[in-house]
Structure 1
């Protein structure tokens, strides 16, 4: 019989397992040979789905074995989600700008992704035993807090770039590109809530309801809503945009109105 934590792990599997065949279909649909593929979307999708499926699997294994180490690992895997979700938003903007005349180049986004990776290393290293050991707790907290601040700064930068990109894709020929930017902007409230939760968990007392290792029912549900559901809304929306996008978009001339569907 599963308790609340076990039921949430099962829900997590049910949420993210279908993302894997969707990723395969996106790759088969759009391919990888053209410059305007969905690779910047697919890679973060693989990361976030893999992390969530792994966390659910390890969590269920921890419940059956009563291993506290496995439970801590499952919690840590669950909390590593900001990086791939932020990279997912950045990937949407890369795809939106790729075929746009005088759009932002991919090099404008690569530094953001590199900084996201660095912030992930900081938060993961700081949180490796934060809730299970008192050793180096102050140092771990400083690393995690610095990582969260970096995540927030990158998120603000992504919003600015999304608004700038929206101005570039107002032409009717940029239907797919406009859909990608709108998706990124609609995901902003969900990721904002997720960031607030992460900031609260490292800037508040460890005994509060924001502690992801707490066994309190309210803390478990809050963890589920913030870490799983909020990220899933971004993941599902991005997957839907990629699945419903035009297959191939090409440039036919050097003007803003030069896009056409290759199949038309």
Structure 2
């Protein structure tokens, strides 16, 4: 049951994070929306009925992360679910992308997840319960050209999640990963400004409402992992079994950037 659960969502000002917050509130949960843009947060907050909270926070700023989580604990007494959703991507070749951009993307996508998790975990361990949900990607399992930086960050999130799950076995804390394929969200405004990728794989893109609903079901059922869509989930299993063969077999089909 999601009713009365305090759910912290990073990257909640747009896309699946914003929709998850809206849907959670509809089911009686108390979403706490965190993002860098106060204007966007308030825009989403206006669409939420019922108790909720908006906090301006940058996941790359350790002090802001600690203060934000402390604020939630002081007001609500607990954090039942942490949904690490903040992240971005850019589709550029390794030679086009600067080292600083590689570093910054890792700082947001991976280290942002680490910072938020480390800030919340002591409170969850003290209570002996909690749920950490990390949004990785299909890219965490299948690499494609012009995505070396983004793929590396999501591999890091996925590996971190798997190791953390083992570390927390028996603690009462569930660790989950969400691995979606392409979603029709503002993510691609930065990742694919020319629209080439979106044009090539538009038929395969998922509606954000679908992904947000699937995430809520994962939270409700405390599933440890979901891969979306189903076709991609099958492809991921095949890739893990025969990675080099799959590379050669799917090269043209997968490289649409």
Larger Rg: 1
Identify whether the pair has TM-score above 0.5, normalized to the shorter chain. no
Which structure is higher in RCO with an 8 Å CA cutoff and minimum separation 6?
Answer: 1
Relative to its length, the structure with more helix (as a share) is: 1
Q: What's the TM-score once normalised by structure 2's chain length? A: 0.31
